[in-house]
Structure 1
């Protein structure tokens, strides 16, 4: 994968307490913005986390929609969310926020 593809794009994350809000957030994020889901997993304290990549404006739009959808679920809650525009290479080298072969089919 080309490094310049990642370096020009933002990463946005949402962390939730419970599976229903992370599922609702992921669905809303991918429908609201022209973004690619690049990570899904467990964070500390058994909370779920998802990360998307795309241009800054699309990531901002996706995260906003994801937070609203996650907070609207009846069980669980959105714990935190964050957007990093143009993360540096050293951040990408240690965190699972890069495009992978599995996400290649869905690149936007």
Structure 2
């Protein structure tokens, strides 16, 4: 999606993917805003950008910031009421791709996410998650700087059980999970983000 600076721009930036997705979900549910860009910046930073009128964007960023900080580390937030066209061009470099009419898509399943420091721990978490509950592995990401994430989906109870088991499995190895999250009813637009990490897109 091209963004021309025609509306206010709201941004949150987090350390890791899981806080960013949690923040994005809150941003989209809180106010009448539209997801325009999402970027794994590098060095473990992930940025979510939305557009809308100024009041909506301010409410969205406030809610997204709180949600992200509850899960992990929020590194930056901003509301740009009137960005110039050149800024819009930069934002558009990281634009998310929409697929069809959101209303025609099936209702999103609950989502469970775990993020660890290192692949050894995230594989242990993924194994425990899928052995414990009836969940489907839908995504995997190496955010950079060692932060690794897995995403599963299923019903709410299964996702809760899976995430709990994944966290316990990592702790049993003497490590700790950086962030974990269960989203019972993900906003439909999160699919534009999670499809980036879809396993079928990553396999050779």
> 1:35-74, CA deviations, whole angstroms, 9 ceiling, x for partnerless residues?
000011111412111000000000000000000101111x
Residues 1-108 of structure 1 mapped to structure 2, 5 A cutoff? 6-73=4-71, 76-96=72-92, 102=98
Does 1 or 2 have the higher relative contact order (CA < 8 Å, sep 6+)? 1
Query: Could you tell me how far 1:81 is from its partner in structure 2?
Result: 0.5
Instruction: Call closer, same or farther: CA 1:33–1:77 in 2, change over 3 Å.
Output: same
Separation in 1, partners of 2:64, 2:52? 15
Query: Could you tell me how far 1:23 is from its partner in structure 2?
Result: 1.1
What are the ranges of 5 or more consecutive residues in structure 2 without an aligned counterpart? 103-204
Separation in 2, partners of 1:77, 1:12? 18
Instruction: Call closer, same or farther: CA 1:29–1:2 in 2, change over 3 Å.
Output: closer
Q: Which runs of 4+ in 1 moved over 6 A?
A: 97-101
Query: Could you tell me how far 1:105 is from its partner in structure 2?
Result: 5.1
> 1:71-97, CA deviations, whole angstroms, 9 ceiling, x for partnerless residues?
111xx3111011101211122123327
Q: TM-score normalised to the size of structure 1?
A: 0.79
Q: TM-score normalised to the size of structure 2?
A: 0.44
Instruction: Call closer, same or farther: CA 1:38–1:103 in 2, change over 3 Å.
Output: farther
Instruction: Call closer, same or farther: CA 1:67–1:102 in 2, change over 3 Å.
Output: same
Asked if structure 2 preserves the Cα contact closer than 8 Å seen for 1:38 and 1:97, the reply is no
What are the ranges of 5 or more consecutive residues in structure 1 without an aligned counterpart? none
Whose radius of gyration is greater, 1 or 2?
2
Query: Could you tell me how far 1:99 is from its partner in structure 2?
Result: 7.4
Q: Secondary structure at the match of 1:102?
A: coil
